[in-house]
Amino acid sequence: MEYFVQLLLGGLTRGSIYALIALGYTMVYGIIELINFAHGEIYMIGAFTALIVSSVLTLYGFNEFAILVLASLIAVIYSASYGFTVEKIAYKPLRSAPRLSPLISAIGMSIFLQNYVLLAQTSDFLPFPALIPEFNFLKNYEHVFSSSELVIVLTTVIVMTILTLLIKFTKIGKAMRATAQDKKMAMLVGINVNRIISVTFIIGSSLAAIGGILIASHIGQINFNIGFIAGIKAFTAAVLGGIGSIPGAVLGGFVLGWTESFATGYVSSDYEDVFAFALLVLILIFRPAGILSVKCEV
Amino acid sequence: MLNLSEIKRSLLVSLWFIFLTFPIMVIRVNPIEKIVEWRWGNMLLVGIGSFVISFIWRYFIRQKELGLKKIEMGEKITPLLKKLAIRESKYVKSLFLTLVIAAVLFPFVFSTYQTTIMTTVLMYVVLGLGLNIVVGLAGLLDLGYVAFYAVGAYSYALLNYHFGLGFWTVLPLGAIMGAFFGILLGFPVLRLRGDYLAIVTLGFGEIIRLVLENWNEFSFGPSGIANIPRPSFPGIQFSLQQATVYQYFLTIGLAVFTIFVVNRLQDSRIGRAWIALREDEIACQAMGVDKVRTKLSAFALGATWAGMVGVMFAAKTTFINPASFTFIESALILSIVVLGGMGSVPGVIIGAFILILLPEYLRAFAEYRMLLFGAILVLMMVFRPQGIISNVRRTYELKGIQK
Amino acid sequence: MKCIMNKSCVTIFIIVVISLTLSCTKPDSQPVKVGVAGPHSGDLASYGLPSVKAAELVINEINEKGGVLGKKIELLIEDDVCKPELATNTATKLVSQNVHIILGHICSGATKAALGIYKDSKIPAISPSATNPALTQSGDYPNFFRTIASDDAQAKLEVDFALDVLKLKKIAVLHDKGDYGKGLAEFAKSFIEESGRAELVLYEGITPGAVDYSAVVQKIKASGAGAVIYGGYHPEASKIVMLMRKKKMDTILISDDGVKDITFIKVAGEYAEGVYATGPKDVSMNPLAIKANEAHKKTYGSDPGAFFLNAYAAVQAILNAIEKAGSTDYDKVTKALRTEYVETPLGKIRFDEKGDAIGVGFSMFQVKNGKYVEIN
């Protein structure tokens, strides 16, 4: 039983990370129907920026709390800026192009950003400081469920709630939903579509940065290559849950995390990814639009 | 062009990029040794670079918009490449002739290295054309095409290892295996559309690779299979150089055969059905096209070529392991198709030449080559989203009525 | 002919002329050409670049002294990104440039793909790092030599250490599904099963680059293994050992050369303490090794990277063999490689019939106070 609970908790953590990245995918896809392959790289840049900032701040002797806050803040700002710029350079000129062109542009951007960080920084793995503090109340359970795992899961749930509320009840959320449904109509009723798309990229990228910082701090190391696998898995999660749906992305992340965790725990980690993809195929055969296929949401 | 507001805009762009690249370009931390290195020179570089590039960028964007406007206003522009696509016989004939001569002379003029590279390019031409059937003609986004390539390569390697079958026996078998796996993938995804299809095919590609990696008893796992014989010719023992030239001509043969078949397929009944399916699935079904058969045939015929090239690949490198069949490879083949121009045969050929030769000749830039490769993909798409040679739909004009 | 006036025809002609002038390689056999092949870009560049530096250092030194056999030595450096399909291109390129001998390749897969081409062209290749046992033991590649011991020797050492020194009864074996890691793990598995003295409680592959490994760590815990033998590289190893320690497990980690890297200790920090790893015998006391390391520091301003000394030794062996053979003839050079001893940073070495270096082996190291210390 303890084994089962452990696997359940492990899958929950893993799924939360997928979910945080998947949210960005699902939002961008919802609005402009583009698989943003560069999203994984934004996540990596977020983690790298946090590492750089925290290293500099440590050198200047800031205390731990200030480092956590500043590093996360700056990393989020930078990831958002990168997301914004990537959209302006690689996707905006392609609004009216054939559907697959932005996809290739996205793949190109992903390769570019990876190599940019590789060249400007290093190809080696770098240790990432444990930014997330250890809570006292968890001290005796640290080996079952650590503080960083708790923070990861909580952040995901909070972010999902805020995002859902944002899209349901605010003006900008309404504008996003309108843009997602019909760009031309949205323009006609006076919505600045370009601005809405930019905002979507900024929000999605910020979430990726948060995911990047949390996971890097949890596993303690990063390199320029971490975005790729995480990106593909997150995209799988987004499709699994029903791409375009916010709760769907989170649910998809959890389902994927658990599948992998239990597949490793009860079968073999050799075929962990095979199970994940096989599950995806099965779900899509029976529910071709994902678990939570919501039509009208962003 | 060089007025004040333009300079101001570029200055803003340059400032934005200085801000954007600051942590990653300027600061390099070494958390292990606790050293922070400040590289202010890079900041200047980024500033000046982005200032200049923003001018060029805007100039080209303006040019592109001008071109679009012209088209909207009904002006017809038929550049050289487009004429080629419409198959104006005058150009095609002379170009074709030069190409044939160049292709035949190539291995005798250039070094073995150049011939190997050209063989690789031709293999990607065939792969691109195969994927073009699935993506370009039938409009089914396939991100796991490399799986069929792997199936072909492993067919040859394993059949040769266990049963000693030769290259010529396995080549058709590889094609059949490819087609079989194409149908295997086709069945479950019949109901899926667009990006759902994309992710499932991606998953399928990964599953094949993972099975090859994990199932040691079957595929020898990640250490791969070595000593795969090169293509044979009855009674002749080739030296390395001769074998390279021989293989080059084999690949040319395969490429020409593929071009011929794909061209014929396009105009055939099934080709028309694919295009109809791409344009509108529902209308297509209403017209009485059998959706299941059409889709499955697209997957199967697309995969056939990958299976054949897989066999050739195994014979060329003489060593294969699952690391050669990753998602990146699928993305590369897809890029060839999209960059060249979806659905267009000459487009795919040019796409393959650019994308395979580019990294090879960018070797001089060593570590910068992948960076440039990524940038070029983005730029090509931004400035020519329809691909280098866009597929020209055949149109019939009724001239008599207008008069 | 009409074709002459044609625009496209002219363009093609120009292209042909340009590429002709670019690609023509004059068969100038004056200098001795040494090809250096390995990953010099991409994610494995850190394994390939040190050998380029080693080759540059040795060859600059020799060239200053007047070269070998009175000829200057020229380096031809080519990138293969550790991919087999690119390695064949790299190899053909080097062959068409008439290289005499190769230092490389770095990864076993790329080496296997390239060796066939070198073999047909009668060019010897010496790898500083390709450890796949089949490369020498299969007998398929008479032109192959290496200055590093093969994987099975490493696996044997790991298993013997776990059985004889640590006296463990339950062992788990993990690998990263890669060429190197899985090959090693397979050997470890069969050695454990053959010995019959310990139970193999878990044998599994993990996905490199996955976001976390908590499920597999739970599995190790549930299996009750006393030690984990891990085949693979340091990034995954450090993640696993950190997770195990955070989950309050004291399972011993025994790993390989890919982990015996200073980065592992720096990344895993305090969690690295007590980890065992096999690696090439400690040669830091060897005066030649000290000299080589210092030369690297002086020229490049940093400490040398992975396989630097192996590559350094390989280049020295190459030059020694050419000198002793009196020419760059294939038969004479390979014979000299097999018979003539040479003083290198790895000690006094020559190669056996199969191509493995005699006098190069592995020993067991343990992390103590943030450093790898050799265990005798």
Model confidence over B230-268: pLDDT tens digits?
Answer: 887 777 777 777 888 888 999 999 999 999 998 888 888
Examine the domain organization and report whether B35 and B126 are in the same domain.
Answer: no
Mean pLDDT for chain C overall: 83
Q: How many Cβ atoms from other residues are within 10 Å of residue C198's Cβ?
A: 21
Cis omega (within 30 of 0) on the bond before C296?
no
Q: How high is the pLDDT of residue C230?
A: 92
Q: How high is the pLDDT of residue B59?
A: 86
Q: Give C34's strand partners.
A: C75, C101
In C, minimum Cα distance to B33 occurs at: C266
Examine the domain organization and report whether B165 and B50 are in the same domain.
Answer: no
In B, minimum Cα distance to A30 occurs at: B195
Residues 139-158 of C with CB under 8 A from B: 140
In B, minimum Cα distance to A272 occurs at: B210
Residues of A in contact with B34 (CB under 8 A): 55, 58-59
Whether the CB of B37 is below 8 Å from some CB of chain C: the reply is no
Half-sphere exposure of A47 (CA within 13 A, CB side): 34
Q: How far apart are CA B81 and CA C28, in angstroms?
A: 42
C293 exposure class (CB count in 10 Å sphere: 0-12, 13-18, 19+): middle
Band of residue B310 on the pLDDT scale cut at 50, 70, 90: very high
**Which other chains touch chain A, taking contact as 3+ CB pairs less than 8 Å apart?**
B, C
Domains by residue range for chain A, with CATH: 2-286 (1.10.3470)
Whether the CB of B235 is below 8 Å from some CB of chain A: the reply is no
Q: Are C71 and C32 in contact (CB under 8 A)?
A: yes
Nearest 5°: phi and psi at B397? -105, 140
Please identify every stretch of chain C with a pLDDT value under 50, giving residue numbers as ranges: 1-6, 9-10, 12-29
Q: Which residues of B111-143 are buried (b: 16+ CB within 10 A; e: fewer)?
A: bbbbbbbbbbbbbbbbbbbbbbbbbbbbbbbbb
Of C19, C84, C186, Cβ closest to residue B321: C84
Residues of B in contact with A82 (CB under 8 A): 20
Q: Which residues of B20-45 are buried (b: 16+ CB within 10 A; e: fewer)?
A: bbbbbbbbbbebbeeebeeeeebbee
Is there a domain that residue B79 lies in? no
Q: Are A260 and A236 in contact (CB under 8 A)?
A: no
Give A62 or B390, the one with higher predicted confidence: A62
Half-sphere exposure of C225 (CA within 13 A, CB side): 27
Written as six digits, the tokens of C328 are 């760059």
C214, C239, C241, C261, best to mutate vs chain A, most A CBs in 10 Å = C214
Q: Give C33's strand partners.
A: C74
Q: What angle (nearest 5°) sits at the alpha carbon of residue A164, between those of residues A160 and A165? A: 120
Residues 219-238 of B with CB under 8 A from C: 221-224, 226-227
User: Which amino acid appears at position C329 of this protein?
Assistant: D
CATH number, domain of B177, equals 1.10.3470
Transcribe C194-215 into DSSP letters: HH-SSEEEEEEE--TT-S--HH
Smallest CA–CA distance, residue B110 to chain C, in Å, is 7
Residue B75 has pLDDT above 60, yes or no: no
Band of residue B403 on the pLDDT scale cut at 50, 70, 90: very low
Q: How high is the pLDDT of residue C28?
A: 43
- Domain residue limits at B353: 110-383
Q: How far apart are CA B142 and CA C3, in angstroms?
A: 41
Written as six digits, the tokens of A17 are 């990370």
Residues of C in contact with B324 (CB under 8 A): 83-85
Q: How high is the pLDDT of residue C21?
A: 46
Hey, are the CB atoms on B363 and C78 less than 8 Å from each other?
yes
Examine the domain organization and report whether B115 and B186 are in the same domain.
Answer: yes
Hey, are the CB atoms on A278 and B207 less than 8 Å from each other?
yes
Q: How high is the pLDDT of residue B364?
A: 65
Examine the domain organization and report whether B178 and B49 are in the same domain.
Answer: no
B319, B325, B329, best to mutate vs chain C, most C CBs in 10 Å = B319
Boundary of a domain, candidates B20, B52, B72? B72
Q: How far apart are CA A256 and CA A283, in angstroms?
A: 12
Q: How high is the pLDDT of residue A291?
A: 77
Is there a domain that residue B303 lies in? yes
3-class secondary structure, C351: strand
Whether the CB of C208 is below 8 Å from some CB of chain B: the reply is no
Hey, are the CB atoms on B95 and C41 less than 8 Å from each other?
no
Hey, are the CB atoms on C212 and A123 less than 8 Å from each other?
no
3-state SS, one letter per residue, for chain B: CCCHHHHHHHHHHHHHHHHHHHHHHHEEEECCCCEEEECHHHHHHHHHHHHHHHHHHHHHHHHHHHHHHHHHCCCCCCCHHHHHHCCCHHHHHHHHHHHHHHHHHHHHHCCHHHHHHHHHHHHHHHHHHHHHHHHHHCCCCCCCCHHHHHHHHHHHHHHHHHHCCCHHHHHHHHHHHHHHHHHHHHCCCCCCCHHHHHHHHHHHHHHHHHHHHHCHHHHCHHHCECCCCCCCECCECCCHHHHHHHHHHHHHHHHHHHHHHHHHHHHCHHHHHHHHHHHCHHHHHHCCCCHHHHHHHHHHHHHHHHHHHHHHHHHHHCCECHHHCCHHHHHHHHHHHHHHCCCCHHHHHHHHHHHHHHHHHHHHHHHHHHHHHHHHHHHHHHHCCCCCCCCCCCCCCCHHHHC
Residues with Cβ < 8 Å from C31, sequence gap 6 or more? C67, C71, C72, C73, C74
Is there a domain that residue B283 lies in? yes
Q: How high is the pLDDT of residue C41?
A: 74
Hey, are the CB atoms on A85 and B16 less than 8 Å from each other?
yes
Is there a domain that residue B96 lies in? no
Q: Are B250 and B231 in contact (CB under 8 A)?
A: yes
Smallest CA–CA distance, residue B368 to chain C, in Å, is 8
Hey, are the CB atoms on A142 and C248 less than 8 Å from each other?
yes
Examine the domain organization and report whether B31 and B129 are in the same domain.
Answer: no
Q: How high is the pLDDT of residue B331?
A: 85
Q: How far apart are CA A227 and CA A158, in angstroms?
A: 23
Q: Is this prediction's ipTM beyond 0.95?
A: no
Please identify every stretch of chain A with a pLDDT value under 50, giving residue numbers as ranges: 295-298
In A, minimum Cα distance to B143 occurs at: A103
Examine the domain organization and report whether B252 and B145 are in the same domain.
Answer: yes
**Which other chains touch chain C, taking contact as 3+ CB pairs less than 8 Å apart?**
A, B
In A, minimum Cα distance to B141 occurs at: A100
Helix (H) or strand (E) holding C366: strand C362-368
With a pLDDT cut of 90, the percent of chain B lying above it is 17
Q: How far apart are CA A20 and CA A159, in angstroms?
A: 8
Q: How far apart are CA B205 and CA B332, in angstroms?
A: 14
Of A221, A264, A273, Cβ closest to residue C215: A264
With a pLDDT cut of 90, the percent of chain C lying above it is 7
Examine the domain organization and report whether B335 and B192 are in the same domain.
Answer: yes
Residue B194 has pLDDT above 80, yes or no: no
Half-sphere exposure of C9 (CA within 13 A, CB side): 17
Hey, are the CB atoms on B366 and C183 less than 8 Å from each other?
no
With a pLDDT cut of 70, the percent of chain C lying above it is 92
Is there a domain that residue B151 lies in? yes
Is there a domain that residue B258 lies in? yes
Whether the CB of C266 is below 8 Å from some CB of chain A: the reply is yes
Is there a domain that residue B93 lies in? no
B33, B92, B98, B119, best to mutate vs chain C, most C CBs in 10 Å = B98
Q: Which residues of B285-323 are buried (b: 16+ CB within 10 A; e: fewer)?
A: eeeebeeeebbbbbbbbbbbbbbbbbbbbbbbbbbbbbb
Band of residue B391 on the pLDDT scale cut at 50, 70, 90: low
Mean pLDDT for chain B overall: 83
Token look-up 């959320």 returns A173
Half-sphere exposure of C4 (CA within 13 A, CB side): 1
Q: Are C303 and C43 in contact (CB under 8 A)?
A: no
Band of residue B88 on the pLDDT scale cut at 50, 70, 90: low
Whether the CB of C119 is below 8 Å from some CB of chain A: the reply is no
For residue C164, give the DSSP letter. I
Residues of B in contact with A103 (CB under 8 A): 334, 338
B217, B382, B388, B389, best to mutate vs chain A, most A CBs in 10 Å = B382
Residues of B in contact with A293 (CB under 8 A): none
Boundary of a domain, candidates B24, B43, B72? B72
Q: How far apart are CA C55 and CA A196, in angstroms?
A: 56
Is there a domain that residue B367 lies in? yes
Q: How high is the pLDDT of residue A102?
A: 86
Q: Give C78's strand partners.
A: C37
Smallest CA–CA distance, residue C213 to chain A, in Å, is 9
Q: How far apart are CA B195 and CA B214, in angstroms?
A: 28
Q: Are A107 and A37 in contact (CB under 8 A)?
A: yes
Q: Are C325 and C336 in contact (CB under 8 A)?
A: yes
Hey, are the CB atoms on A232 and B27 less than 8 Å from each other?
no
C363 exposure class (CB count in 10 Å sphere: 0-12, 13-18, 19+): middle
Hey, are the CB atoms on A143 and C234 less than 8 Å from each other?
no
Examine the domain organization and report whether B168 and B253 are in the same domain.
Answer: yes
Distance, CA of B333 to chain centre: 3
Residues 46-85 of B with CB under 8 A from A: 61, 64
Domains by residue range for chain C, with CATH: 32-148+285-360 (3.40.50.2300), 152-274 (3.40.50.2300)
Of A125, A218, A260, Cβ closest to residue C215: A260
Residues of C in contact with A225 (CB under 8 A): 43, 209
Q: How high is the pLDDT of residue C27?
A: 42
Q: How far apart are CA C323 and CA A198, in angstroms?
A: 66
Token look-up 């044609």 returns C6
Of A220, A229, A264, Cβ closest to residue C242: A220
Q: Are C182 and C175 in contact (CB under 8 A)?
A: yes
Residues of B in contact with C84 (CB under 8 A): 224, 317, 319-321, 323-324
Residues with Cβ < 8 Å from C232, sequence gap 6 or more? C174, C175, C176, C178, C180, C181, C206, C208, C255, C256, C258, C259
Examine the domain organization and report whether B23 and B120 are in the same domain.
Answer: no
Residues 291-350 of C with CB under 8 A from B: none
Residues 310-339 of B with CB under 8 A from A: 327, 331, 334-335, 338-339
Examine the domain organization and report whether B65 and B199 are in the same domain.
Answer: no
Q: How high is the pLDDT of residue C23?
A: 46
Boundary of a domain, candidates B42, B72, B102? B72
Q: How high is the pLDDT of residue B155?
A: 92
Q: How many Cβ atoms from other residues are within 10 Å of residue A181's Cβ?
A: 15
Examine the domain organization and report whether B252 and B341 are in the same domain.
Answer: yes
Written as six digits, the tokens of B5 are 């507001």
Whether the CB of C21 is below 8 Å from some CB of chain B: the reply is no
Transcribe A100-163 into DSSP letters: THHHHHHHHHHHHHHHHHHHHS-SS-EE----SPPPGGGGGGTTTS-HHHHHHHHHHHHHHHHH
Written as six digits, the tokens of A14 are 């893993």
Residues 170-229 of C with CB under 8 A from A: 177, 204-207, 209-212, 214-216, 218-219, 222
Band of residue B307 on the pLDDT scale cut at 50, 70, 90: very high
Smallest CA–CA distance, residue A140 to chain B, in Å, is 30
Q: How far apart are CA B78 and CA C305, in angstroms?
A: 56
Go through chain B and tell me how many residues it has.
403
Q: How many domains does chain B contain in total? A: 2
Closest alpha carbon to B123 in B353, B403, B347: B353
Written as six digits, the tokens of A125 are 């793995």
Q: How high is the pLDDT of residue C24?
A: 44
Whether the CB of B397 is below 8 Å from some CB of chain A: the reply is no
Examine the domain organization and report whether B123 and B191 are in the same domain.
Answer: yes
Smallest CA–CA distance, residue B133 to chain C, in Å, is 25
